């Protein structure tokens, strides 16, 4: 089934926003791994990011340099109990902001129209007030 690539870009940006919100009050690795809900939520959002990037790679839309994100997603999905949570923590604190900037730059530089995708995603998340607020802000910035 075909899905418009702009939706994958929005999926990535929503997932990054959620990770930033979920970990905002988490000061260190020990607090991160002791908070099951945050840990599970962050892992889920990283899976969404990896899957979205995989779809964009398959459509030859983004650069192969993003392949390592897909590989990390595959490791998380298939290792289950062997996830390296310290690596997850490092990605969240050292790479997620850079990914967000790179995706936004790609969208702007390639004049990628994600307005319709944002509107569609707002409908999907209508009961998630913080996500809708983020999407409305994103719509204004793009």
pLDDT tens sequence for the chain (142 residues):
788 999 999 999 999 999 999 999 999 999 999 999 999 999 999 999 999 999 999 999 999 999 999 999 988 988 767 888 999 999 999 999 999 999 999 999 999 899 999 999 999 999 999 999 999 999 999 8
Q: What is the distance, to the nearest Å, from the Cα of residue 17 to the centroid of all Cα atoms in its chain?
A: 7
Phi and psi (nearest 5°) for 128?
-100, 90
Active site residue 73: yes
Catalytic residue among 3, 21, 67, 73: 73
Active site residue 78: yes
Instruction: Determine the pLDDT at residue 79.
Output: 76
Per the domain annotation, does 14 fall within a domain? Answer: yes
Whole-number Cα distances in Å, 126 to 51, 130, 134: 23, 10, 12
The sign of the torsion formed by the CA atoms of 70, 71, 74, 76 equals: negative
In angstroms, rounded to a whole number, what is the distance separating the alpha carbons of residues 40 and 83? Answer: 11
Domain count, the chain: 1
Whole-number Cα distances in Å, 74 to 15, 22, 54, 71, 119: 17, 22, 10, 5, 29
Answer yes or no: pTM beyond 0.95.
no
Per the domain annotation, does 35 fall within a domain? Answer: yes
Contact (Cβ atoms closer than 8 angstroms) between residue 14 and residue 121: yes
Catalytic residue among 3, 44, 67, 78: 78
Per the domain annotation, does 78 fall within a domain? Answer: yes
Domain, as residue range, for 10: 5-112
Instruction: Determine the pLDDT at residue 85.
Output: 92
Contact (Cβ atoms closer than 8 angstroms) between residue 88 and residue 59: no
Per the domain annotation, does 28 fall within a domain? Answer: yes
């Amino acid at each position: 089934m075909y899905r418009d690539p702009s939706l994958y870009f929005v999926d990535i940006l929503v997932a990054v926003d959620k990770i930033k919100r979920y970990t905002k009050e988490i000061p260190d690795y020990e607090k991160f791994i002791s908070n099951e809900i945050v840990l599970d939520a962050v892992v889920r959002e990283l899976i969404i990011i990896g899957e979205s990037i995989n779809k964009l790679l398959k459509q030859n839309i983004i650069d192969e340099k993003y392949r390592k994100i897909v590989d990390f997603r595959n490791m998380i999905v298939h290792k289950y109990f062997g996830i390296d949570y310290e690596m997850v923590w490092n990605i969240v604190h050292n790479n997620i902001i850079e990914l967000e900037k790179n995706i936004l730059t790609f969208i702007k530089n390639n004049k990628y129209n994600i307005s319709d995708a944002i509107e569609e995603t707002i409908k999907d998340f209508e009961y998630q007030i913080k996500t809708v607020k983020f999407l409305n802000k994103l719509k204004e910035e793009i």
